[in-house]
Each structure stands twice: as structure tokens, then as C-alpha cells.
């Protein structure tokens, strides 16, 4: 029997310095029963290496985590474990991306109970402003910054791991520190990776790249068709793939057929968000149910988003928000089908 379940995503607006933004989020999380439980089950872990690495790549983010700790009334070590994005266990997930000439569209597939369900608009005192869906609060699953740089992650294999940063944290740091595709690729190649991920990237000038990132090596495919799912294709990294990648291959093959179509922004959105689409999944208990469809338009900073499936698209202008002219709702709402 199939059941329809409501799904909501909070719109979070952050401005000011990193510490202030962290404290604002921490105060809100302190009231959240799920985060209270996560705090209670944390074990005391040595975070010295994580703090050192974070200080090296982003002192600003460290300040945000300090603010989170104060807002949640937890010690900094616990906050680093929860929000530092370094050497943290990551469950399986799926993601599908396609880019046209003027847009980047993507589905994110995971478990609704572990979903942050937050679309975060951030205008920090230092670093580029950005919009994107969060994971582990400080990380980003996908996003676009004020320069028109877009990035999304695609898990390839969580079994092949070493100490490093989660892809969610890498996406967030790219959005804050990089202005175009070349800068993003350079950053991704320099930072330590924990797991095997693809990163799909597009900038305002239409330059795109897919970075196959394993902990030991990163392979870059530039200015090819931006179609990305959850497997490596380079000869150097194919051995890192999971044993079964049929679902990822099927999605990529279907996306290839879309290249021949003259897709508009909204027609592409509905292809991804339609619950009967081969790009939409309902396996939420297996960490592979589609939770959001999002479109980023780097030339004019337009965003189209839908939570759940068969959702009427919500459109917003990130540039208007940056200039203080866009008023946003508190929640985005949709529904998912639970088998």
C-alpha cells in the first residue's frame, strides 16, 4: 500500500559574520528534538586533526561552528564532530544532474528522515554569498553563489575511504571561495577527500566540469556535456565504483536522450520532478528516494525548486534577495510517496 507523506523544507536566511550566523542556527537547533538526540549519543572523539584541517582551509567556517556551539550550548569538540565535515561517516545516497545552455537541474535522492530539509541563503561578511540545500547544517548538497558558480555532489562509493572532508563540506567551501569553474576544480584537487564522489560544476560563462574525486586521485573532465550520476567513468578510477552501478548507468543513458530535445527551464524541471520519470525514485527506506528537484541559472541567478514529487515549482531570484528585494516564505512544502 502506498502512502502520501508531507515533506517540508525550511528556508533559512543568514547574514552577518560567521559567528553570528552560527549562533542563529545553533539557537534554532537547540529546540530540535532530532539534534538533541544526536548530541546525546556523541562519543568523545579527538578532533585535533579536524580543527587543524578546518583552520587551514576555512577559518571562517571554524568561527561559524564556534557560534553553533554557543547557540546549542555544547562544547566545541561536540560541535566539531557534528558540523566540522571532516572524517564523518556518510550513508549512501543518489543524485542526478543535467545542464542545458542556461540551467543546471538536479535531483537529490536520500532518506527523508535524515534529510536536513533546509534551503539556505547566506550572505556572509567574508566570502561569496550563496544559495543551496544543506546537509549536516554547515555542508551543502548543491548550490549557486553570487558569481554564478554552481556545484552539486554525487556519491560514488562510501566504502573506499580515508581521512578527509565530506563532499558536502567541499561543496560549501567551493561556493564560498571560488568564482568560476577553473577555481572550483583547482580547489577540489587540493583538499583531502574522505569518500569517492563526483562533483558537477557550471559557471556563469557556461564553462562546466565533472571532477571524479577519490581520496587518492582526482580526474577532471572539462567542457563536456554535463550529465552526471553516481559512478566513475575514467579508466583510472573505474575500479573504485560499487559492484552494482546499473541504476546509475540507466539514469545517465536516459539523460543522454534529453540532449536531443529543446528543453525549456520548466520542461526540464518537470522531467526531473515527475514521480513517473525514470529520474525520480521512491526508495526512501533504502536511502534512494527523491527529496528535492532544484534548478540553478548561473547567468541571472534564478532558482527553481520543488520539494517532493509532482510539486508545483517555486521560483525565486537570488540576485533580488541579495539586494533586499525578494521576500521568501518560511517553508517549501510538497509530498512524497512511501511504499
| 16 pLDDT more than 80 | yes
Q: Which residue has the higher pLDDT, 92 or 13?
A: 13
Q: What is the pLDDT of residue 34?
A: 80
Q: What is the pLDDT of residue 216?
A: 95
| 80 pLDDT more than 80 | yes
Residue range 172-181: mean pLDDT, rounded: 98
Q: Are 17 and 63 in contact (CB under 8 A)?
A: yes
Residue range 186-207: mean pLDDT, rounded: 97
Query: What number of other Cβ atoms are within 10 A of residue 230's Cβ?
Result: 26
Q: What is the pLDDT of residue 309?
A: 97
Q: What is the pLDDT of residue 223?
A: 76
* Long-range Cβ pairs for the range 239-246 (8 Å, 24+): 240/156, 240/157, 240/160, 240/196, 240/214, 241/156, 241/157, 242/156, 242/157, 242/159
Q: What is the pLDDT of residue 221?
A: 96
pLDDT in tens, 314-337: 999 999 999 999 999 999 999 999
Query: What number of other Cβ atoms are within 10 A of residue 238's Cβ?
Result: 12
List strands edge to edge, sheet with 331-338. Answer: 218-222, 208-213, 196-202, 150-157, 139-145, 130-135, 118-124, 3-16, 331-338
| First-to-final CA distance of the chain | 6
pLDDT in tens, 203-255: 999 999 999 999 999 999 997 789 999 999 999 999 999 999 999 999 999 99
| 43 pLDDT more than 70 | no
Q: What is the pTM of this model?
A: 0.96
Percentage above 90 pLDDT, the chain: 86
Mean pLDDT over all residues of the chain? 94
179 — pLDDT class (breaks 50, 70, 90):
very high
Buried b (16+ CB within 10 A) or exposed e, 22-51: bbbbbebbeeeeebeeebeeeeeeebeebb
Q: What is the pLDDT of residue 117?
A: 96
Q: What is the pLDDT of residue 178?
A: 98
Burial class (CB in 10 A: 0-12, 13-18, 19+), 126: exposed
Amino acid at each position: 500500500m502506498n502512502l502520501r507523506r508531507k515533506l517540508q523544507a525550511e528556508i533559512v536566511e543568514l547574514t552577518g559574520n560567521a559567528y553570528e550566523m552560527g549562533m542563529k542556527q545553533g539557537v534554532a537547533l537547540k529546540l530540535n528534538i532530532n539534534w538533541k538526540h544526536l548530541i546525546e549519543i556523541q562519543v568523545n572523539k579527538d578532533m585535533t586533526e579536524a580543527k587543524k584541517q578546518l583552520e587551514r582551509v576555512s577559518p571562517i567556517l571554524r568561527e561559524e561552528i564556534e557560534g553553533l556551539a554557543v547557540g546549542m550550548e555544547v562544547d566545541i569538540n561536540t560541535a566539531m564532530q557534528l558540523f566540522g565535515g571532516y572524517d564523518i561517516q556518510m550513508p549512501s545516497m543518489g543524485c542526478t544532474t543535467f545542464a542545458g545552455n542556461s540551467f543546471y537541474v538536479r535531483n537529490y535522492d536520500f532518506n527523508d528522515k535524515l534529510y536536513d530539509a533546509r534551503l539556505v541563503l547566506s550572505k556572509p561578511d567574508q566570502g561569496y554569498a550563496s544559495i543551496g540545500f544543506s546537509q549536516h547544517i554547515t555542508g551543502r548538497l548543491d548550490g549557486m553563489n553570487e558569481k554564478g558558480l554552481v556545484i552539486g555532489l554525487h556519491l560514488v562509493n562510501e566504502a573506499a575511504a580515508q581521512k578527509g572532508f565530506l563532499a558536502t563540506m567541499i561543496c560549501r567551501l567551493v561556493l564560498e571561495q571560488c568564482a568560476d569553474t577553473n577555481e572550483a576544480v583547482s580547489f577540489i584537487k587540493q583538499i583531502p577527500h574522505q569518500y569517492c564522489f563526483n562533483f558537477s560544476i557550471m559557471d556563469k560563462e557556461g564553462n562546466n566540469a565533472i571532477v571524479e574525486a577519490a581520496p587518492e586521485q582526482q580526474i577532471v573532465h572539462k567542457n563536456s556535456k554535463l550529465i552526471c550520476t553516481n559512478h566513475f567513468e575514467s579508466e583510472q578510477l573505474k575500479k573504485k565504483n560499487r559492484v552494482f552501478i546499473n541504476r546509475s548507468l540507466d539514469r545517465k543513458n536516459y539523460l543522454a536522450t534529453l540532449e536531443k530535445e529543446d528543453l525549456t527551464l520548466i520542461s526540464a524541471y518537470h522531467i526531473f520532478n515527475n514521480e513517473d520519470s525514470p529520474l525520480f525514485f521512491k526508495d526512501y527506506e533504502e536511502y534512494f528516494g527523491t527529496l528535492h528537484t532544484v534548478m540553478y541559472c548561473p547567468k541571472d541567478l534564478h532558482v527553481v525548486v520543488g520539494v517532493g514529487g509532482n510539486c508545483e515549482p517555486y521560483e525565486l531570484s537570488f540576485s533580488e534577495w541579495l539586494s533586499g528585494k525578494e521576500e521568501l516564505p518560511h517553508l517549501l512544502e510538497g509530498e512524497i510517496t512511501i511504499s
